[in-house]
Structure 1
Amino acid sequence: MQAVILAAGEGSRLRPLTRSKPKSMLPVANRPIIEYVIDALLENGIRDIIVVVGYRKEDVIRHLNRLDAPIQVVVQERQLGTADALRAAESEITGDFLVLPGDNYVNAESIARIRKERNAMLVAEHPSPSNFGVVVIRNGLVREIIEKPEDAPTFTVSTGIYSFSPDVFSCLRTNEIPDALAAMIAAGHRIRAIPADDWQDAIYPWDLLKLNNRMLREISPEVGGTVDASVIRRGTVRIGTGTTVGPNTVIYGPVAIGDNCNIGSNCVIMPNASIGDRVEIEPFTYVADSLIMSDARIGSHSRIVSAVFGQGCILADHTTTYPSASFIEVGERVQKEEFGAVLGDGVRAAPFTTFKNCIAGNNVTIERGKTVVGLIEDGTRVM
């Protein structure tokens, strides 16, 4: 069986983190999201894998070339939609096939369930169905898909994972796959609704924290660096090659620390923290429930909780992220969300900066002693 992974989109609702990389390449538990999709396919013996790339395609292709997996790449020249991305792979399809988004997590058991069906959709229950295509099901068959409704009639949503016969290509009349499904249903095709075993998507940047927590449960313990004899480790802790952990630091897993990091003395790393490669955390710093991408530096005596830091952030001593709940405008909706901070790539913060329920764009600079709240646009200097 073949599988087509759609990894051509940006993931605009995850900005500022996707300004420099596509959503499928965002790291959770120190691995790009697309790797989890490929792993689930390989566990099911599916080795004929086509990946459709587009936005920042060079980043995706470069990473796929490093993987020990038989992957064919096709390019969607313009990011017009999911059906248009699927058309880009049409010439490579030889029989029944799966379609999967490259930026969602799905487990192998879910794929095992849907691969047995011809013309089917993997569905899941979600507490915020209005962010997805809501699926109306009768007698196990899909009757209707309502895209991002204001008032959802059900909590059942489409995961964007499908099993198709090649007949679907004759129904790709617009640029979106849900329209093709509606055409197939209208033409009398039976589209089965298959419940997912385990599936998760990150719609907004703060959702990456939940996805990161989920994937940290899968890591295996490993110490590839140098850990001082006084360090206390509890739970599952993964430490990469070339990383050093200083005296009297305490790490409570699940925690993943990448390669060539420097974790200072007297730090506390609490559960559900993932720390990328070449990250420096200075002494007396506390990190919990956070996703810190590569090449970041966090100064001493800092407290980082419920935060997502993009690549190359440099935060001086006594930096604090303070989780709180506030109303955030997302598209045309306003919703209440609770997290500490989401920082884009290259954010610079002077000593004694506090981020409180804040989204700071790429290359934001913050001067000493500021409390930053709300949305800060790319390139802003906070004085």
Structure 2
Amino acid sequence: MQAVILAAGEGKRVRPLTWSRPKAMIPVANRPIIAYTIDALIKNGIRDIIVVVGYRKEQVTRFLNQLDLPIEVVVQEKQLGTAHALLQAKSRVKGDFLLLPGDNYIDAQSVAKIKDVKNAMLIKEHPSPSNFGVVTIREGRVESIVEKPEHAPSFQVSTGIYSLNKDFFRYIRGNDITDAISAMIESGTGISAVTAEDWQDAIYPWDLLKLNQRLLKHLPAAREGTSSRHATIHGPVQIGKGTTIGPNTVISGPVIIGNDCTIGPNCCVLPNTSIGSRVSIEPLSLIGDAIVMDDTTFASHSRIVDSVIGERCRLADHTSTGTASGILEIEETPIRSQFGAILGDNVTSGPFARLRNCIIGNNVILEGNRDVISRIIPDGSLVI
């Protein structure tokens, strides 16, 4: 069996994190999201994989070339929709195939449940169904699918994962997979509904924190760096090569730390934290429930919780993020949110900056002693 992974989109609702990378390449638990999709396929013996790339295609291609797999890459030159992306792979598809999004997490057990079912959709109950294609089911078959309805008829949603045959291409008339699935149903071709075991999409950037927590649950401990004998490390913790953990630093797993980091002395890393490579955390700082990307520096007395921090950020001493509730406008839609902060790449903060329930764009400079609460700061801004 073949698999087609769609990894051509940007992921606009996850901005500013997709300014410099496609959504499929956002690191969660220090691996790109697409890596988990590929893992699920390999565990099911599926190695004939086609990946459709588009936005920032070089990054996806570079990552795929590092894998010990003969993955075929095709390009969607313009991001015109999911069905249009699938059409780019039409000439490579031989027969039965799985269709999967490259920017969702799916587990191997779910793939096992659907891979041998002809014409099937993987579904899952979701508390916010209006963000997805909402499905109605009758006697194990999909009766209808409505994309992002204002009033959802059910809590069952499509995961975007399908088991299909090459005949499916004849139902594609527009640019979206949902329309093609609806045309398939209207033609009288039945689509089985298969319930996923474990699936998650990150619709908004703060959703990445829940995904990170989920993926760290099964983290095996591994320590390749150097830890002071006066440091305290307990629970599942991975420490990369060249990383130094200073004295009196406490790390409580699950935590993953990349290569060549400097943490401490006198720091605290709390559970559900992913720290990339070449990250520096200076003394008397605390990091918890967070995703920290590569080459970022936290000066002393920082407190970063419930937050996603992009690459090459420079946060001055006493910078703090803390969980708060608010309403943010994402893609012209008011969205209720609750988290600390989302920082794009190359953000610089002055001392005593305080961030709550806010999204800070790329290349933003925050002067010291500033409060940013329930706001979105555009790329390139200077906050004084």
* Superposed counterparts of 1:323-342, under 5 Å: 323-342=323-342
Normalised by the length of structure 2, the TM-score is 0.99
Identity in percent: 59
Per the alignment, residue 282 of structure 1 pairs with 282
Per the alignment, residue 193 of structure 1 pairs with 193
SS at match of 1:21: coil
Per the alignment, residue 168 of structure 1 pairs with 168
CA distance in 2, matches of 1:272, 1:17: 19
CA distance in 2, matches of 1:185, 1:129: 21
SS at match of 2:182: helix
Deviation at 1:116, TM superposition (A): 1.3
Q: Does 1:377 align with 2:378?
A: yes
Deviations 1:151-171 (CA, angstroms, capped at 9, x unpaired)? 111110000000001110111
Amino acid at match of 2:94: T
Per the alignment, residue 311 of structure 1 pairs with 311
SS at match of 1:121: strand
Amino acid at match of 2:274: S
Amino acid at match of 1:272: N
Per the alignment, residue 179 of structure 1 pairs with 179
Deviation at 1:142, TM superposition (A): 0.6
* Superposed counterparts of 1:133-172, under 5 Å: 133-172=133-172
Deviation at 1:372, TM superposition (A): 1.4
Amino acid at match of 2:73: V
Deviations 1:292-348 (CA, angstroms, capped at 9, x unpaired)? 011100111111110100111110110100210011222343232110100000000
Per the alignment, residue 68 of structure 2 pairs with 68
Deviation at 1:150, TM superposition (A): 0.9
Amino acid at match of 1:181: I
CA distance in 2, matches of 1:377, 1:335: 17
Per the alignment, residue 232 of structure 1 pairs with 232
Amino acid at match of 1:154: S
Amino acid at match of 1:31: R
CA distance in 1, matches of 2:126, 2:230: 44
Q: Does 1:57 align with 2:57?
A: yes
Deviation at 1:70, TM superposition (A): 2.2
Deviations 1:45-103 (CA, angstroms, capped at 9, x unpaired)? 00000000000000110111111222110111111000001000010011100000000
SS at match of 1:63: helix
Per the alignment, residue 20 of structure 1 pairs with 20
Amino acid at match of 2:379: D
Per the alignment, residue 218 of structure 2 pairs with 218
SS at match of 2:357: strand
Equivalenced residue count is 383
Q: Does 1:202 align with 2:202?
A: yes
SS at match of 1:203: coil
Deviation at 1:382, TM superposition (A): 0.5
CA distance in 2, matches of 1:219, 1:279: 20
Deviation at 1:34, TM superposition (A): 0.3
Amino acid at match of 1:186: E
CA distance in 1, matches of 2:249, 2:56: 39
Deviation at 1:368, TM superposition (A): 1.2
* Superposed counterparts of 1:221-300, under 5 Å: 221-300=221-300
Per the alignment, residue 31 of structure 1 pairs with 31
CA distance in 2, matches of 1:297, 1:68: 33
CA distance in 2, matches of 1:253, 1:151: 40
SS at match of 1:338: strand
Deviation at 1:218, TM superposition (A): 2.3
Amino acid at match of 1:184: M
CA distance in 2, matches of 1:376, 1:10: 20
Deviation at 1:146, TM superposition (A): 0.9
* Superposed counterparts of 1:79-98, under 5 Å: 79-98=79-98
CA distance in 1, matches of 2:58, 2:368: 38
Per the alignment, residue 41 of structure 2 pairs with 41
Deviation at 1:264, TM superposition (A): 1.4
CA distance in 2, matches of 1:335, 1:176: 24
Normalised by the length of structure 1, the TM-score is 0.99
CA distance in 1, matches of 2:138, 2:230: 60
SS at match of 1:200: strand
CA distance in 2, matches of 1:175, 1:96: 21
CA distance in 2, matches of 1:381, 1:131: 33
Structure 2: 5+ residue stretches without partners:
none
CA distance in 2, matches of 1:167, 1:137: 23
CA distance in 2, matches of 1:259, 1:160: 34
SS at match of 2:241: coil
Amino acid at match of 1:379: G
SS at match of 1:290: strand
Structure 1: 5+ residue stretches without partners:
none
